[in-house]
């Protein structure tokens, strides 16, 4: 196989999934990250394979709410003042993506990924022996008033039904039958029976990494300082060495922007930070993820406790944890559970988010030896396996199972 020596920068769930897909196709793959596999943004997500997530965030109704949300310390949205200049290109792109034709195109693009995602997940989970880390108990998305339930029925949920999502509307009593240890904070909501979740996102990453290495994959824990195009190949300058490869796949999330900019590639990718708290809920039990959509938080039962995950904080990736955000989330958990849980740990990480809510997947026209797979926002775990499959098809010159034009790197130019 020509051009089969491939480097992947980024050992999160997207990079690992891509490494496995390429390895299975016969490529020699080197995976590089400054951290151990799965210890970046992939470590901290809510753990959902979110089959229902087919609607972009790009709606004018949401834009109108944003100023008020930013002024409310208890809202799920916040911004670090010094990060504002980074948000200007993103904001302009977000505005343009809110127009109906662009929104509908984004919705169709997300749905196209969802149609192939479960099969791609199953392939990698079986391959790596990680099936025991995934549960198929569905998930609950709850609302705190009859009005918000009614609004959801006529709005997002109606759209999701049109996009083929399997969902059921539940009353407060029906929710209580499924999750009797929840407090009565809600007026009912939606049950997604096909949604799966993992009891440990980092353990999934570790299983993938272990299998990758066992099959001859090379894993390097080092920082990539510079990417250079060298004829038909690429050179990577690490902290103390340089290595040459035939092809490169960039899966480094927000860090991808800095590495690609010297090559003339500019992406309006921003750091949208998410938080999680690991809670001890004092003997109470949850059988599945439970979201309080009005507050944009999820409780997910995991191996090390119940994970409370959520919030969207636009801030520098390396900014200190904002304790006010964590405290606000904890207050929501107290209401959901009807108790004051013990906090076992607190975490913050940076989601790579695009203005149109779509990931960036495909080869660069300007530098065809480089492919990119980043910008998955809240859906890195959900779309990791299908993204890896699409990158494998791209590098191999095959017809891709999903039309990649909506995800093209050049769409922001």
Instruction: Kindly report the CATH number assigned to the domain that includes residue 285.
Output: 3.30.9.10
Q: How much is the pLDDT for 70?
A: 82
Q: How many CB atoms lie within 10 A of CB 59?
A: 17
Does residue 135 contact residue 283 with C-beta atoms inside 8 Å?
Answer: no
pLDDT tens over the chain, length 413 residues: 566 999 999 999 999 999 999 999 999 999 999 999 999 989 999 999 999 999 999 998 888 888 888 888 788 889 998 999 989 999 999 999 999 999 999 999 999 999 999 999 999 999 999 999 999 999 999 999 999 999 999 999 999 999 999 999 999 999 999 999 999 999 999 999 999 999 999 999 999 999 999 999 999 999 999 999 998 999 999 999 999 999 999 999 999 999 999 999 999 999 999 999 999 999 999 999 999 999 999 999 999 999 999 989 999 999 999 999 999 999 999 999 999 999 999 999 999 999 999 999 999 999 999 999 999 999 999 999 999 999 999 999 999 999 999 999 999 98
Is residue 409 assigned to a domain? no
With left for phi above 0 and alpha for psi between -120 and 50, is residue 169 left, alpha or beta?
beta
First to last CA, the chain: 33
- Where does residue 163 rank: exposed (0-12), middle (13-18), buried (19+ CB within 10 A)? middle
Structure-token pair, residue 274: 């998410």
Is residue 55 assigned to a domain? no
Is residue 158 assigned to a domain? yes
Beta strand ranges found along 246-341 (DSSP E) = 247-250, 270-280, 290-292, 297-302, 305-314
Sign of the Cα torsion 342, 347, 348, 354 reads negative
Closest CA to 43 of 273, 210, 258, 219: 273
Domain count, the chain: 1
Is residue 373 assigned to a domain? no
Query: How far apart (Å, rounded) are the C-alpha atoms in residues 124 and 235?
Result: 29
Is residue 6 assigned to a domain? no
Residues 6+ apart with CB under 8 A from 343: 277, 278, 279, 280, 330
Q: How much is the pLDDT for 1?
A: 57
Is residue 283 assigned to a domain? yes
Is residue 42 assigned to a domain? no
Is residue 73 assigned to a domain? yes
Domain hosting 181: range is: 68-98+135-195+269-353
Distance (Å) of CA 221 to CA 215, 317, 380, 413: 18, 20, 21, 33
Query: How far apart (Å, rounded) are the C-alpha atoms in residues 100 and 267?
Result: 23
């Amino acid at each position: 196989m020509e051009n089969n020596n491939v480097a992947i920068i980024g050992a999160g769930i997207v990079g690992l999934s891509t490494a496995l897909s390429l390895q299975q196709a016969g490529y020699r793959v080197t995976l590089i990250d400054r951290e151990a596999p799965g210890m970046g943004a992939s470590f901290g997500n809510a753990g959902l394979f979110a089959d229902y997530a087919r609607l972009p965030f790009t709606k004018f109704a949401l834009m109108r709410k944003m100023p008020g949300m930013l002024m409310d310390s208890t809202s799920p949205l916040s911004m670090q003042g010094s990060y504002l200049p980074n948000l200007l290109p993103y904001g302009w792109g977000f505005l343009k993506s809110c127009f109906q034709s662009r929104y509908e195109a984004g919705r169709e693009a997300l749905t196209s990924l969802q149609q192939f995602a479960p099969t791609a997940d199953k392939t990698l989970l079986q391959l790596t022996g990680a099936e025991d880390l995934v549960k198929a108990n569905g998930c609950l998305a709850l609302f705190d008033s009859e009005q918000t339930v009614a609004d959801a029925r006529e709005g997002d949920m109606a759209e999701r039904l049109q996009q083929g999502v399997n969902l059921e509307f539940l009353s407060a009593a029906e929710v209580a039958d499924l999750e009797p240890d929840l407090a009565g904070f809600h007026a009912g909501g939606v049950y997604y029976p096909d949604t799966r979740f993992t009891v440990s996102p980092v353990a999934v990453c570790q299983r993938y990494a272990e299998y990758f290495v066992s099959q001859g994959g090379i894993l390097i824990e080092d920082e990539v300082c510079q990417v250079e195009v060298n004829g038909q190949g690429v050179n990577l300058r690490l902290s103390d060495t340089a290595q040459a490869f035939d092809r490169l796949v960039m899966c480094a999330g927000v860090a991808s922007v800095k590495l690609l900019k010297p090559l003339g590639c500019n992406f309006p990718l921003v750091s949208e930070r998410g938080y999680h708290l690991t809670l001890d809920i004092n003997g109470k039990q949850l059988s599945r993820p439970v979201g309080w959509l009005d507050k944009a938080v999820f409780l997910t039962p995991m191996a090390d406790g119940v994970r409370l995950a959520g919030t969207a904080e636009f801030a520098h990736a390396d900014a200190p944890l904002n304790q006010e955000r964590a405290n606000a989330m904890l207050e929501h958990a107290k209401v959901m559970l009807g108790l004051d849980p013990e906090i076992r740990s607190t975490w913050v990480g940076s989601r790579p988010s695009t203005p149109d809510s779509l990931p960036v997947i495909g080869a660069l026209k300007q530098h065809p030896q480089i492919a990119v797979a980043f910008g998955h926002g809240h859906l890195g775990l959900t779309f990791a396996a299908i993204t890896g499959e699409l990158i494998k098809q791209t590098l191999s010159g095959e017809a891709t199972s999903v039309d990649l034009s909506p995800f093209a790197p050049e769409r922001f130019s």
